[in-house]
Chain A
């Protein structure tokens, strides 16, 4: 089964992290990525730029309205995601726990219809 691991973190706090802490976090993500590959579980993913760089397109009454910023203002923001192949939810949760992240939402990916 394919799952999305959605990483939420407080951007402001992350921005205050030192160079050393940033390096360490990236190293852990590298390690995580290699672990996924070893287990044939890697299915994609990306780090997202800060929500200050986001633009939201809302379609209302046939018009597209643009706003500066993310869809919803939240205390923790979506910072990145991984797509993983896991045998079941337990394995997906195991991956989520292994991530160097405080909050991870685990959501099944809807399987593409056959044919």
Chain B
């Protein structure tokens, strides 16, 4: 390692990683070796990221007719924070398709390589490469500016950027297809992006709220799948596997948004995640509080998916019948969403209406796209079928 500061930073990273991992996984057989390997790996990561950071600006600049680029000032040969912020808003411009925005942001803000992005989204590498090329051409040809939006446009454009980051996270949190429910890498990248945006726009409540939300959800990752690869529902999760250090960070971030009285969707979702996180045992969960937060969220967003989640919370707080009532008129709004029949099935089951529950599991199975969730639904239905499948 020719660069001393890089070596120092990387070793520091390695120590931090050790502190985080060793309590959970136990110390390795050769601690010194582990530290050195980890440090070397982190150093390579950093070099790669820095190189790609420095590369990404010219990659955008070399496209023709991006006249704004001529006026960009690069202080002392490295990209100043303002550069990165401009990059975020350029990559997340609403004139680009969502797919393009996600690919560009991961490539040029997160610094992932094209093959890495392709792998994360289970897409062939040439497809991702072509998507990135098309997007860059659009930026140049359509004159998408390399600029932080004006104060008038900023709220909407920031919301757009946050939506890109959140999309990356939710794809990591519950992959819509494939055999791994958690694509931890995607979720981690989203959180990293959130942190970058947080550094670039310090104190911006929406950014803090989204980061809190992601950190709190991500803290539960080790408990969501059992050793056999099966889905574990929230009430059944081993909370010892929750990352309580990360929950601490999430709660602290949420505190910051509370001060600015953010009642944005992200802040409300983060508050809900916090309610779960505050419960050391599932039985400690304050379901009425969660149901109330979902009601606020539903008012703010008018979202059918929020109503679905609210129904689940209401069922916990006030019984399955109350929950089912809220699910009554959602079929039109959510015709292809497997979680609607899945939720109905669970509530019908609690009411002893097993025949109807089995039918609903069937509907859910017809719609589900994720192997882990499919296996879960199949096993839940099989349990009822074994029990006789008739209503009590």
Q: Which residues of A contact B (CB under 8 A)?
A: 1, 3, 86-90, 92-93, 106, 108, 111
A1 and B143 in contact (CB under 8 A), knowing A88-B68, A90-B149, A90-B153?
yes
> Do most interface residues of chain B lie in helix, strand or loop, or is the interface mixed?
loop
With a cutoff of 8 Å between Cβ atoms, the chain A residues found around residue B142 in the complex are: 89, 106, 108
Bound-complex Cα distance A28 to B317 (A)? 55
With both beta carbons as reference points, the residue of chain A lying nearest to B140 in the complex is identified as A108
B389 in contact (CB, < 8 A): no
Contact present for A88 and B95 (CB under 8 Å): no
| 24 cross-chain CB contacts under 8 A | A1-B65, A3-B143, A86-B143, A87-B145, A88-B68, A88-B143, A88-B145, A88-B147, A89-B93, A89-B95, A89-B142, A89-B144, A89-B145, A90-B144, A90-B145, A90-B149, A90-B153, A92-B143, A93-B95, A106-B142, A108-B141, A108-B142, A108-B143, A111-B65
B377 smallest CB distance to A (angstroms): 40
With a cutoff of 8 Å between Cβ atoms, the chain A residues found around residue B143 in the complex are: 1, 3, 86, 88-89, 92, 108
Q: Which residues of B contact A (CB under 8 A)?
A: 65, 68, 93, 95, 141-145, 147, 149, 153
With a cutoff of 8 Å between Cβ atoms, the chain A residues found around residue B141 in the complex are: 108
With both beta carbons as reference points, the residue of chain A lying nearest to B93 in the complex is identified as A89
> Do most interface residues of chain A lie in helix, strand or loop, or is the interface mixed?
mixed
B257 smallest CB distance to A (angstroms): 29
Bound-complex Cα distance A55 to B237 (A)? 69
- Most chain B beta-carbon contacts within 10 A, residue among A89, A93, A111: A89
Sample of 17 further A-B pairs with CB below 8 A, known A89-B95, A89-B142: A3-B143, A87-B145, A88-B68, A88-B147, A89-B93, A89-B143, A89-B145, A90-B144, A90-B149, A90-B153, A92-B143, A93-B95, A106-B142, A108-B141, A108-B142, A108-B143, A111-B65
With a cutoff of 8 Å between Cβ atoms, the chain B residues found around residue A111 in the complex are: 65
Bound-complex Cα distance A111 to B64 (A)? 12
Bound-complex Cα distance A86 to B95 (A)? 16
Bound-complex Cα distance A6 to B197 (A)? 36
With both beta carbons as reference points, the residue of chain B lying nearest to A88 in the complex is identified as B145
With a cutoff of 8 Å between Cβ atoms, the chain B residues found around residue A89 in the complex are: 93, 95, 142-145
With a cutoff of 8 Å between Cβ atoms, the chain B residues found around residue A92 in the complex are: 143
With a cutoff of 8 Å between Cβ atoms, the chain A residues found around residue B144 in the complex are: 88-90
Bound-complex Cα distance A90 to B147 (A)? 10
Bound-complex Cα distance A3 to B93 (A)? 18
B60 smallest CB distance to A (angstroms): 14
With a cutoff of 8 Å between Cβ atoms, the chain B residues found around residue A106 in the complex are: 142
B144 smallest CB distance to A (angstroms): 5
Bound-complex Cα distance A14 to B306 (A)? 39
Bound-complex Cα distance A75 to B136 (A)? 32
With a cutoff of 8 Å between Cβ atoms, the chain B residues found around residue A1 in the complex are: 65, 143
Bound-complex Cα distance A31 to B153 (A)? 23
A92 smallest CB distance to B (angstroms): 7
B361 smallest CB distance to A (angstroms): 41
B149 smallest CB distance to A (angstroms): 7
Bound-complex Cα distance A93 to B145 (A)? 12
With both beta carbons as reference points, the residue of chain B lying nearest to A1 in the complex is identified as B143
A69 smallest CB distance to B (angstroms): 31
With a cutoff of 8 Å between Cβ atoms, the chain B residues found around residue A86 in the complex are: 143
Bound-complex Cα distance A106 to B142 (A)? 9
